[in-house]
Structure 1
Amino acid sequence: MGGIKGNEGSVAGTITPITVRQGAFAFADDTPAHWIPRAPEFAQMINGASFVMPHLEPFLVATLGEAAKLIEDPAVRREARDFCMQETQHYRTHRRFNDVLLGQGYESLAAVEAEMAAAYARLMERPLAVRLAYAAGFEAMTLGLTDWLVGHRVELFRGADPHVTSFILWHMVEETEHKLVAHDVYEAVSPGYWWRAVGVLHGSLDVIQWSRRCYRALLLQDGRWRRPSSRLKVWWWAARFLLGAGPALLRALVPGHDPRVMKDHPWVREWIAGHARSGQRGAPMPLIDTGSAVMPVPF
């Protein structure tokens, strides 16, 4: 089969460089599951999303890797390659963090993970266009999530474990850095509005429901899920998440949407520039000061 060219003038020359960084984060065996002491429910909700990543992100890597073989445009092909390398770092680091939590007695997650593994194996059997739309849809949600987490970092992560906070925000920075890739690959291989629109809902809602399954299991084991006060807090955090990520999803549903028009949060740009100046090459990442009144970039 011949290669597929990107849409004329749509991606070449407008691609943000992607840096593949080693996810050099270490998690002690006694890293607390409630790593945000004043907001244990919110910590477990983020932990729940973390358990999804070692299943979701290998799916994204396999899907975009398969699609890249069909693309002639070297810039888009390079985008896809670097995306896959970044996402591989992400899910390996999430796996290390998740294993720490499993070692603390959250055995009930094993059953949910088995279901996720089976679900993503079934999804891999779907047509490539469906999988690319799913990938582009999920990646659209991460832009809104990043803006919310980074923009409210002091409120959300004040006093939190700096290792986990630094790891989560590193992941969010790189989600912004490769924000174009799933969209560009979709447009190069299987362009069309309706599949992409369906993918926005399919990808985002599917990941949300798996995250909920995971944090429900975590909170059940904590004995918090059935407490009215904890359940109210979960609903509160879920509503705030939807308000934070929702606008990005709505924009992604607009015909002709292109993530290039979405501005990166200044803190994200500062993080990327600071890392470039630091010359980090696989060394342990410097930690964010979660006691700071502004939580500046750690470089």
Structure 2
Amino acid sequence: MRPSDQPSRMPLPRAVPFEFPDDIDPAWIPGQPELSAMFNGASLTMPYLEPFLIRTMREAIQRLDDPAILEEGRAFNTQEQFHYQAHRRFNEIIKAKGYPELAEVEDAMKASYQRLSRRSLQVRMAYTAGFESMTLGVTKWLIGHRVALFAGADARVVSFVLWHMVEETEHKCVAYDVYQALFGSSPRAWWYRMIGVAHGSIDVIRWSMRGYKVILRKNGLWGKLRSRLRLARELARASVHIIPFLLHAMLPGHSPRREHDPQWVLDWMSAYAEAPEGFVPLVDTRDPSMPVPFAATAIRAGVPA
């Protein structure tokens, strides 16, 4: 049974035509190469993680006959498909900017997700639902602290990152609903889901760390104490916002429906519904509040309106 805390929101796949031209700097947050590398490392995982999530969700929903959950699962997959395709384009730019060594991390990730794909469906769905619980914390961190994190940063990259987070919020219940529909809420099912929270989150974090380590090593920053301290500070700030969500998601009565959606996310979705076709929602990173990127900063296919 689907929890009844609040009604589901149907995910709406949005093929936003983000462009990543050659002039994008891998250190796209001015003066913060460590934070830029952290986000670039996370992006590196997406073309391997998200196809795994899609395959798992596709197999899972084939075993269900609830039309609403089936439709949500298909929409989830389409959103994730658009996400990893955009991340792949961005990652290719980063690698071409002097980081071909990242391909070795990608090869290792590909092999790892191939091995994970041979695990039972319950393990894989628990991983999927577990990872999705982490994105709630990531979203609230990035949206709520967008000015502190991204002031003056490359608007093309920031806007792409925040779009991804908006849609992660939108489909926050889907993997959980599918897992519950397939495996129920028995103590055994909860145990698998609890392990999945740790497994999915830690796995993605470790791959992200391998990616940003390559970047910082290539930049000559990995061995510098000051850089490592700045990196530790950013990791601590992220952890303060993400870890509570992971711990809460491990509880037996957890439901993502009880998590409040940031108003900025709701405003983004509402405004995008009225946007013209081909609209690219570029955030103004120079604005002191970085408002929802509509109307005043309307961009059609990358050209100012």
TM range (shorter): over 0.9
Per the TM alignment, residue 235 of structure 1 is displaced from its structure 2 partner at its CA by 0.8
1:243 aligns to what?
240
In structure 2, what residue type is equivalent to 1:297? V
Q: Distance in 2 between the 1:33 and 1:136 partners? A: 31
The residue type equivalent to 1:238 in the other structure is: L
* Partner residue in 1 for 2:229: 232
Question: How many Å separate the matches in 1 of 2:142 and 2:91?
Answer: 20
**Are positions 1:184 and 2:177 aligned together?**
yes
Given candidates 260, 263, 267, the residue that maps to 1:263 is: 260
**CA offset at residue 256 of structure 1?**
1.5
Residue 200 (str. 1) matches residue 197 (str. 2): yes
Q: Which residue of 1 aligns with 2:282?
A: 287
C-alpha deviations, 1:220-251, integer Å up to 9, x for none? Answer: 11111111111111111111111011111111
Corresponding residue to 1:157 among 144, 150, 162: 150
How many pairs are equivalent?
A: 290
Unmatched tracts of structure 2, length 5 or more: 295-305
What is the one-letter code of the residue matched to 1:251? H
Structure 2 residue 34 is the aligned partner of structure 1 residue 25: no
Could you list the structure 1 runs, at least 4 aligned residues long, displaced by more than 6 angstroms after superposition.
none
The match for 1:221 among 218, 222, 238 is 218
Conserved? CA contact 1:23–1:90, under 8 Å: no
Taking the aligned partners of 1:224 and 1:180, their CA distance within structure 2 comes to 39
Q: Alpha-carbon deviation of 1:18?
A: 1.3
Superposition deviation, residue 13 in structure 1: 8.4
State the distance in 2 between where 1:249 and 1:193 align. Answer: 14
Residues 154 and 294, structure 1, Cα contact 8 Å, conserved in 2: yes
What is the distance in 1 between the residues matched to 2:172 and 2:180? 14
C-alpha separation in 1, matches of 2:11 and 2:112: 30
Shift of 1:189: 1.2
How far apart are the structure 2 equivalents of 1:121 and 1:234?
31
1:87 pairs with 2:80: yes
Question: Who is 1:10 aligned against?
Answer: 3
Local SS of the residue matching 1:256 = coil
SS where residue 230 of structure 2 aligns? helix
Residue aligning to 2:57: 64
CA contact (8 A) 1:137 1:203 kept: yes
Deviation at 1:12, TM superposition (A): 11
The RMSD of aligned alpha carbons is 1.2
TM superposition score normalised by structure 1: 0.95
Local SS of the residue matching 2:29: coil
Deviation at 1:14, TM superposition (A): 2.2
Specify the SS of the correspondent of 2:274. Answer: helix
Question: Is contact 1:30–1:100 with CA below 8 Å preserved after alignment?
Answer: no
1:15 is displaced (CA, Å) by 1.3
- 1:296 and 2:302 are equivalent in the alignment: no
* SS of the residue 1:147 aligns to: helix
Between the aligned residues of both structures, percent identity stands at 49
Corresponding residue for 1:3? none
**Residue 19 of structure 1 contacts residue 82 of structure 1 at CA under 8 Å; is this kept in 2?**
yes
Letter in 2 for 1:198: I
Q: In structure 2, what is the equivalent of residue 51 of structure 1?
A: 44
Residue 277 of structure 1 aligns to a residue whose secondary structure is coil
> How far off its partner does 1:124 sit?
0.3
Q: Residues 227-281 of structure 1: CA distance to partner in whole angstroms, max 9, x if unpaired?
A: 1111111111111111011111111011111100111001000100010122x43
Residue number in structure 2 paired with 1:4: none
Are the equivalent residues in 1 in contact too, given 2:3–2:255 (CA < 8 A)? Answer: no
